[in-house]
């Protein structure tokens, strides 16, 4: 877009001077007051001086007025990590225009980030309240029934107390999971990365969930035959496997199989935990690792999950600077694959 810059303004002044002095010089030349050679040099000289002086004055005038604004905007941008580009040859108005434009862009990115965070926070609090409500109302219901006479009824008193206790366990699980996610997200949780044998850990954890898996009729099998050395936080990695195994059990079918395999990569090991359970529809996969995300609210609420297990898994893997992906087909099964740093 065409605009009046200091250079152009000075050029107009110079052209006006040229027009005026040419007229004057022609008169002087015609009347013979000055020789033509001198008379014609005068306009060029005068317009050159007019250009230089004009440019200097206009720049001084603008500079005095806008440099303060420019400096303020520039300082704000620099404080927010903008690049320090200050070109003496660039027109000060262009520079101001560019700085203000960049500042406005930065602001609008910031505002959309804040809006997104606000939406996320609202959604998160809503989800948390929703998760806590179910066990709290259940516990309240059982306690009220006991207080209103159930306590004296030997057919229900123990059963209702057990159910209330299960509700409390569920609340504790949600709060513990929340606590872990918060610590992982805020980076407060110190990781203690050591060289460890994955094969031994997987075997240990399979034994730990054996009761649960036997109850559900899901067999968990390790295909790791020899030691696989990795660099990881043993405690956190146990949590990853336990969450994946619990899901394979909860969303597996009776008589089903969950297998753990590893594949050596260059500097890493790829670990796969696969099951032949109910699987997950493709529309759910992109959001699966989000906090509280569930595939079909009813089916997992009934299994007692908090919807936080996979969010924790992802956080832990990412705290190791590694990544996790999921592949799944409804009715066929699910495979979680993640990497770990290999240790010699």
Q: To the nearest whole angstrom, how small is the minimum distance from the Cβ of residue 195 to ligand ADP?
A: 29
Q: How far is CA 166 from CA 136, 169, 283, 306, in A?
A: 11, 5, 32, 14
- Rounded to a whole number of angstroms, the minimum distance from the CB of residue 272 to ligand ADP is 12
Residue closer to ligand ADP by CB (options 10, 202) is 202
Nearer to ligand ADP, 47 or 274 (CB): 274
Q: Which stretch binds ligand ADP (CB under 6 A): 24-32, 139-147, 222-230, 271-279?
A: 271-279
Query: Please, which residue, 220 or 308, has the CB nearer to ligand ADP?
Result: 308
Strands 229-232 and 218-222: unpaired
Cβ-closest position to ligand ADP: 305
Between 277 and 316, how does the x/- string for binding to ligand ADP read (CB under 6 A)?
Answer: xxxx-------x----xxx----x----xxxxxxx-----
Shorter beta-carbon distance to ligand ADP: residue 326 or 340:
326
248 binds ligand ADP (CB under 6 A): yes
C-alpha distances (whole Å) from 273 to each of 141, 253, 326 are: 39, 16, 10
Q: How far apart are CA 194 and CA 276, in angstroms?
A: 32
Are 340 and 319 in contact by the 8 Å Cβ rule? The answer is no
* Residue 254 C-beta: closest distance to ligand ADP, Å: 14
CB of residue 185 to ligand ADP, shortest distance in Å: 15
Instruction: Tell me the closest approach of the beta carbon of residue 165 to ligand ADP, in angstroms.
Output: 20
**Is residue 220 part of the contact set for ligand ADP (CB under 6 A)?**
no
The dihedral over CA atoms of 301, 305, 311, 313, expressed in degrees to the nearest 10, equals -150
The tokens of 211 are what?
């009761």
- Angle of CA points 286, 230, 312, to nearest 5°: 35
- 93 with 5: CB under 8 angstroms? yes
Of 255, 284, 265, which is closest to residue 337 (Cα–Cα)? 265
Stretch binding ligand ADP (CB under 6 A), from 15-23, 63-71, 186-194, 243-251 = 243-251
Tell me whether residue 269 or residue 295 sits nearer to ligand ADP (CB atom).
295
DSSP for 205-242, please give it: HHHHTHHHHHHHTEEEEE---S--EEEE-HHHHHHHHH
For residue 85, give the H/E element and its range: none
Q: Is 213 in the site for ligand ADP (CB under 6 A)?
A: no
Find the binding residues for ligand ADP in span 143-182 (CB under 6 A): none
Residue ranges in contact with ligand ADP by CB under 6 A: 243, 247-248, 251, 275, 277-280, 288, 293-295, 300, 305-311, 334
């Amino acid at each position: 877009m065409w605009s009046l810059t200091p250079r152009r303004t000075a050029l107009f002044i110079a052209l006006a001077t040229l027009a005026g002095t040419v007229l004057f010089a022609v008169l002087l030349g015609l009347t013979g007051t000055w020789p033509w050679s001198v008379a014609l040099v005068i306009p060029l000289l005068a317009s050159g001086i007019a250009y230089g002086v004009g440019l200097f004055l206009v720049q001084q005038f603008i500079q005095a007025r806008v440099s303060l604004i420019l400096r303020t905007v520039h300082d704000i941008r620099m404080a927010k990590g903008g690049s320090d580009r200050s070109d003496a040859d660039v027109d000060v108005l262009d520079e101001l225009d560019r700085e203000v434009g960049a500042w406005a862009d930065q602001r609008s990115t910031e505002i959309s980030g804040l809006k997104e965070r606000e939406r996320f926070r609202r959604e998160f609090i809503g989800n948390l309240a929703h998760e806590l409500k179910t066990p709290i109302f259940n516990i309240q219901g059982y306690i009220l029934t006991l207080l209103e006479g159930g306590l004296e009824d030997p057919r229900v008193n123990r059963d209702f107390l057990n159910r209330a206790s299960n509700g409390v366990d569920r609340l504790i699980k949600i709060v513990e999971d929340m606590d872990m996610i918060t610590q992982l997200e805020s980076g407060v949780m110190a990781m203690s990365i050591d060289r460890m044998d994955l094969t031994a850990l997987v075997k240990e954890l399979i034994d730990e969930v054996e009761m649960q898996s036997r109850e559900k009729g899901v067999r968990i099998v390790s295909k790791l035959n020899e030691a696989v050395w990795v660099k990881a936080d043993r405690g956190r990695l146990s949590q990853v496997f336990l969450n994946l195994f619990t899901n394979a059990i909860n969303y597996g079918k009776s008589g089903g199989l969950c297998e753990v395999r590893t594949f050596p990569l260059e500097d890493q090991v790829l670990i796969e935990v696969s099951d032949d359970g109910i699987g997950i529809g493709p529309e759910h996969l992109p959001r699966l690792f989000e906090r509280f995300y569930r595939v079909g609210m009813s089916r997992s609420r009934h299994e007692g999950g908090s919807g936080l297990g996979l969010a924790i898994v992802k956080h832990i893997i990412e705290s190791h600077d590694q990544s996790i992906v999921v592949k799944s087909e409804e009715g066929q099964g699910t495979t979680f694959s993640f990497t770990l740093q290999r240790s010699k």
